[in-house]
């Protein structure tokens, strides 16, 4: 395929990250440094299917526009480079810096039998990478599962230690502490029913209160627990809860070094991209927050506001009453869209938005998108939801982030306009705002 056609292919996502070519899966090493968001990812540089696991690498100034760089960490010593994470070692605790600037240090699973955890580092802002100590492990296999994997590392301010969360077997995450990112001590284990690989542990304020904070621990399926963490032990207070109700959300990771906000990205596992030079895509980056609800404290997700840099045209509809079975044809051809909808629903009423021939339907207690259903209750008689629509995916955010659904699809009717319908009772549409997006690759 000619160079000028890359990123314009029929099924190429236009504002969700994809590798220029070949296979992609788990996000790895997410870290912000020197104004650049680094996104590493499981990547097969030699083919369109899983295999030859390497850390691919891309950077962005804004989480929207990405530039793919050469692969960062390549297989060695008879083992592939599985998932992991990265930090900026600001005080050079590792001693791996050059005395000019802090190194970026990545920890990854060296996938051989048995798996072990190893380090790589960069002293030139992430452009070139060296494996530490000829690639020898810094954390040996724990003897619990031959495929222990996916270390998530971060700096814990209160204990002034580096922390690692490592999946060591089904249901179990093992926590380690370190002063220098090289020598690690076992601190505790967390046992959570069903916990499966790719752990992430983050601290968030509740309703923005910097005094009232909780820790959130999640697995690859985005089941999450809310609790406390003292630098050694995670104590759950509630959970597990389902973090995403769509069909294609997996192995999410948050960026390190983003200061007062927590940003997450995931692999949208299992999407289809017929006859494309690439395979698989990432979710759109989202900010996470904790909020008090009638059911207790829960995690909320919303797209990062930087998506507004892609807005090129906005159309608004307000204060419309749709009778039973009445359609509203917006006249807007479905394409790259960010749609926000707020509707009033009576008991038993339902309302649908039709995009690319697919219906997104909400009622008084739930919402359905691409064959998956999530609980979504009325708030003072109103439901609010938002849709990010790309070439091969729809991401839905209900009631300002209370519910999220991330799913892939292939468009059935590519040139149909966006429509709305009152299904079985009159519906009052308070607002329907459609932002047309340009491609992030332009």
As annotated, the active-site residues are 26
Q: Are 383 and 343 in contact (CB under 8 A)?
A: yes
Dihedral angle over CA of 71, 250, 152, 99, nearest 10: 30
Q: Are 56 and 40 in contact (CB under 8 A)?
A: yes
| Cα end-to-end span (Å), the chain | 18
Q: Are 304 and 219 in contact (CB under 8 A)?
A: no
Q: What is the CA radius of gyration of the chain?
A: 22
CA distance 242 to 231: 25
CA distance 156 to 341: 40
Burial of 72 per CB tally in 10 Å (0-12, 13-18, 19+): buried
CA distance 33 to 104: 8
CA distance 284 to 282: 7
CA distance 405 to 55: 27
CA distance 341 to 396: 11
Residue 334 backbone phi and psi in degrees, to 5: -60, 130
CA distance 199 to 197: 6
DSSP 256: B
E strands present in 3-157: 22-33, 36-44, 54-60, 67-73, 80-88, 104-111, 116-122, 130-131, 149-156
CA distance 23 to 21: 7
CA distance 434 to 352: 15
């Amino acid at each position: 395929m000619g160079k000028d056609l890359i990123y314009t292919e029929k099924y190429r996502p236009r504002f969700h990250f994809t590798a220029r070519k070949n296979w992609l899966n788990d996000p790895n090493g997410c870290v912000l440094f020197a104004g650049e968001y680094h996104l590493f990812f499981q990547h097969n540089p030699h083919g369109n299917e899983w295999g030859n696991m390497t850390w691919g690498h891309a950077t962005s100034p804004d989480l929207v526009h990405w530039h793919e760089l050469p692969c960062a960490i390549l297989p060695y010593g008879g083992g592939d480079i599985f998932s992991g994470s990265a930090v900026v070692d600001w005080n050079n605790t590792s001693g791996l810096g050059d005395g000019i600037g802090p190194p970026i240090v990545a920890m990854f699973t060296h996938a051989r039998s048995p798996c072990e955890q190893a380090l790589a580092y960069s002293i030139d802002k992430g452009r070139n990478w060296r494996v530490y100590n000829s690639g020898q492990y810094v954390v040996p296999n724990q003897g619990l599962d031959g495929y222990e994997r996916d270390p998530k590392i971060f700096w814990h301010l209160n204990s002034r230690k580096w922390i690692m969360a490592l999946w060591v077997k089904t249901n179990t995450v093992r926590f380690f502490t370190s002063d220098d990112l090289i020598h690690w001590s076992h601190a505790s284990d967390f046992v959570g029913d069903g916990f499966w690989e790719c752990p992430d542990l983050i601290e968030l304020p509740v309703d923005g209160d910097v005094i009232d904070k909780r820790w959130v621990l999640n697995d690859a399926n985005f089941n999450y627990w809310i609790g406390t963490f003292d630098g050694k032990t995670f104590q759950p207070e509630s959970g597990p809860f389902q973090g995403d109700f769509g069909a294609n959300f997996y192995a999410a990771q948050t960026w390190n070094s983003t200061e007062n906000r927590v940003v997450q990205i995931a692999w949208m596992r299992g999407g289809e991209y017929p006859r494309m030079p690439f395979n698989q895509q990432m979710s759109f980056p989202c900010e996470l927050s904790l909020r008090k609800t009638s059911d207790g404290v829960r995690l909320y997700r919303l797209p990062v506001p930087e998506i507004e840099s892609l807005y090129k045209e906005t159309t608004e509809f307000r204060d419309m009453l749709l009778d039973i079975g009445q359609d509203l044809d917006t006249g807007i051809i479905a394409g790259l869209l960010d749609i926000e909808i707020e509707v009033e629903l009576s008991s038993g009423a339902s309302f649908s938005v039709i995009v690319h021939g697919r219906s997104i339907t909400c009622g008084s207690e739930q919402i359905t998108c691409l064959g998956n259903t999530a609980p979504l209750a009325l708030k003072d008689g109103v439901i609010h939801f938002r849709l990010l629509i790309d070439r091969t995916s729809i991401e839905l955010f209900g009631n300002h982030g209370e519910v999220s659904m991330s799913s892939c699809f292939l468009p059935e009717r590519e040139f149909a306009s966006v429509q709305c319908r009152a299904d079985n009772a009159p519906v009052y549409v308070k607002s329907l705002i459609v932002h047309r997006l340009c491609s992030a690759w332009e």
